[in-house]
């Protein structure tokens, strides 16, 4: 099973709202990722978690707050977003580096976020 699930599929939020995106995988992967994808553009890496610890933050604004409560779950907490943050948010997972295992990334279907 190479499935990564994301909820919700669609989210509309105002600029003063607080919401969260959820990502889950049951492949035993110990690395998880958040990407942002604007229309007609490639995905842009936001955060990487490895063994439940934040290992990469690509200078993402603090209104995006990631959380990895356990090895299967990854959250992205959203607060005070701007309309330009509207995008498709993709989660991915892989084997952790250094394990000697093949670590291609598997992506979820994404959450379409609209900020009004």
Partner 1 sequence: AQSVTQPDIHITVSEGASLELRCNYSYGATPYLFWYVQSPGQGLQLLLKYFSGDTLVQGIKGFEAEFKRSQSSFNLRKPSVHWSDAAEYFCAVGEGGTASKLTFGTGTRLQVTL
Assigned token pair, 41? 């553009």
Site string for partner 1, 2-21 (x = CB under 8 A): --x-x---------------
Minimum Å gap between C-beta 96 and partner 1 is 9
Q: Give dist(CA 14, CA 97) in Å, integer.
A: 38
The reply on whether position 97 binds partner 1 by CB under 8 A is yes
Q: What share of the chain is helix, strand, coil (3-state, %, to 5)?
A: 5, 55, 40
The reply on whether position 108 binds partner 1 by CB under 8 A is yes
Q: Give dist(CA 17, CA 96) in Å, integer.
A: 34
Among 31, 46, 68, 87, binds partner 1 (CB under 8 A): 31
The reply on whether position 112 binds partner 1 by CB under 8 A is yes
The reply on whether position 86 binds partner 1 by CB under 8 A is no
Minimum Å gap between C-beta 79 and partner 1 is 25
Vertex 87: Cα angle to 50 and 113 (nearest 5)? 90
Cα torsion at 57, 59, 62, 63 (round to 10°)?
Answer: -100
Q: Which chain residues interact with partner 1 by CB under 8 A?
A: 4, 6, 31, 33, 40-43, 45, 48, 50, 55-56, 88, 90, 92, 94, 97-98, 102-110, 112
């Amino acid at each position: 099973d190479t499935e990564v699930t994301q909820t919700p599929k669609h989210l509309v939020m105002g600029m003063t709202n607080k919401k969260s995106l959820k990502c889950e995988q049951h492949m035993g992967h110990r690395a998880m990722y958040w990407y942002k994808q604007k229309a007609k553009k490639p995905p842009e890496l936001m955060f990487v978690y490895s063994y439940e610890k934040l290992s990469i933050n690509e200078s993402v604004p603090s209104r995006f707050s990631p959380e990895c409560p356990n090895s299967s779950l990854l959250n992205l907490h959203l607060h005070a977003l701007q309309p330009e943050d509207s995008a498709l948010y993709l989660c991915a997972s892989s084997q952790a580096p250094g394990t000697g295992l093949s670590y291609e990334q598997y992506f979820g279907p994404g959450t379409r976020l609209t900020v009004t």
